[in-house]
Amino acid sequence: MKTACAQMDVRLGDSAYNLPHALELIRRAAAEGADTVLLPETFNIGFFPRENLAELADRDGEIIKMAFGALAAELHINLVAGSAVTNRGGKIYNTAYVFDRDGACIASYDKTHLFTPMGEHDYFTPGKQLCTFTLDGVKCGLIICYDLRFPELTRTLALQDIELLFVPAEWPGVRRAHWQTLNRARAIENQIFLACCNGCGTAGETVYGGSSAIYDPWGEIKAEAGTQEEIILADCDFAVKEQIRNSIHVFRDRRPELYQL
């Protein structure tokens, strides 16, 4: 599976710019041969405008599902539409949508760990369910940004036998080293491919770190972006996962009777 991350400079509160620009980046990735494209977190209005948040949010995800589902079908690609700020039933969620090659929305995920240092928990409602889905016969999982700091979440997905984890984010440059280390660790310890797509540029006082990447189950970098807008692409050979698991038996050698979470 040729997987692409469309690293994007998301403009705060400007969906009129962000949505067409995201569609343009997806087209560019498809033209480069991508089977699956990943966008960053809150690509519709950024992370996150506190003024008029409910009005700026995509009501029931209707705009995302219509426009991005249609483009996935047109280009015949899989699309993990990062995440978008959505308004459902008067509550605000940080929601990712997944579209298959026919444009069907086959999965959605509401961010479960809200970033309290920036007050995300004061404005957003946390999700209550984890997310797995299948793209081109490959079982995948999805987490969003701050979720990355909770290894038990990714391990739970890994125990459901995912082969590829998607991580959209708006991760600040000041903690770029954490971003790179945690993504690599989640790939290594769970012996999975991992595609992480970060935002870049500046929104308000925050400078986002870019450094989107695709890791193999050894934690080796298959592709990595810099700090500006960029599309990266890597071919994920899932036979590697079985080779690694047959040589380092992490899952066979677990001792779950000793673990208390």
Check if 5 is active-site.
no
**Comparing C-alpha atoms, which of 64, 93, 71, 61 is closest to residue 24?**
71
Contact present, 19 and 30 (Cβ < 8 Å): no
164 CB-contact burial (10 Å; exposed 0-12 / middle 13-18 / buried 19+)? buried
Catalytic residue among 65, 105, 111, 163: 111
User: How many CB atoms lie under 10 A from the CB of residue 78?
Assistant: 24
d(CA 77, CA 36): 6
Check if 139 is active-site.
no
Check if 111 is active-site.
yes
Catalytic residue among 5, 41, 170, 196: 41
Terminal CA-to-CA distance of the chain, rounded, Å? 34
Catalytic residue among 140, 145, 196, 200: 145
Contact present, 183 and 213 (Cβ < 8 Å): yes
d(CA 55, CA 7): 26
Contact present, 9 and 17 (Cβ < 8 Å): no
Residues annotated as catalytic are 41, 111, 145
